[in-house]
Amino acid sequence: MAYGGDVLIGGACCLAVFTDLRYAKIPNWLVISLAALGLAWRATTGWGSLASALLGMLCVLVVLVPLFAVGWFGGGDVKFMAAIGAVLGFPGWIPFVLLTLASGGLLSLIFAACAGQLRTALAAVAHMFQLAVYAQTPVAAAKTRVHVPYALAIAAGYLLSLVWRHGAPL
């Protein structure tokens, strides 16, 4: 991917972090603008690039919509990550999503610790792993939740994916 897409995503991440910290929301106008500009930019380089963008967006949605459905993500976070997936295309979305999930997990633990709920958060994580390993049905979730401005994790995941793709500067 040329650096134009990186500049586009970087600017959108800055705006998303600001609005998420200030208003606890990633606005639809930002998501729609990023997706439209990303698809238009990809279309200028040919049908294959546009198809890659659409596939990247679709793959992000397929992975994250189920996580939204169980309450692990907000809708704005999923839409914003899908728009970034459109700019990154296929397979560029894969390291971005994986690194964002890792960043989000770390950020969630930090926010839980700051709110004095680290023990509850760790118990919830252990419970999720237990469900995954033993294919059990979920029991009642924790009653308290800590708001995490996930745009921070998305921006961190994107920056880490830049390092992944281009190598760390010396």
By percentage, how much of the chain surpasses pLDDT 90? 58
Closest listed residue to residue 41, CA positions, set 19, 63, 56: 56
For the stretch 45-68, pLDDT in tens is 999 999 999 999 999 999 999 888
The reported pLDDT for the residue numbered 168 is 67
State both tokens at 156.
Answer: 């961190």
The reported pLDDT for the residue numbered 170 is 47
State both tokens at 30.
Answer: 């930002």
Buried b (16+ CB within 10 A) or exposed e, 22-58: eeeebeeebbeebbebbbebbeeeeeebbebbbbbbe
At residue 135, the 3 state secondary structure works out as coil
For the stretch 99-110, pLDDT in tens is 999 999 899 889
State both tokens at 163.
Answer: 């390092």
Cα dihedral: 8, 11, 17, 19 (round 10): -100
Closest listed residue to residue 151, CA positions, set 23, 40, 54: 23
Kindly report the backbone phi and psi dihedral angles of residue 155, in degrees, each rounded to the nearest multiple of 5, phi listed first. Answer: -65, -40
Which residues of the chain register pLDDT less than 50? 139-141, 170
The reported pLDDT for the residue numbered 32 is 97
- Rounded to two decimals, the pTM is 0.85
How many degrees, rounded to 5, is the angle at CA 64 between CA 83 and CA 8?
Answer: 20
The reported pLDDT for the residue numbered 80 is 97
State both tokens at 96.
Answer: 């971005």
* Residue ranges covered by each domain of the chain: 3-166
Closest listed residue to residue 9, CA positions, set 152, 158, 150: 158
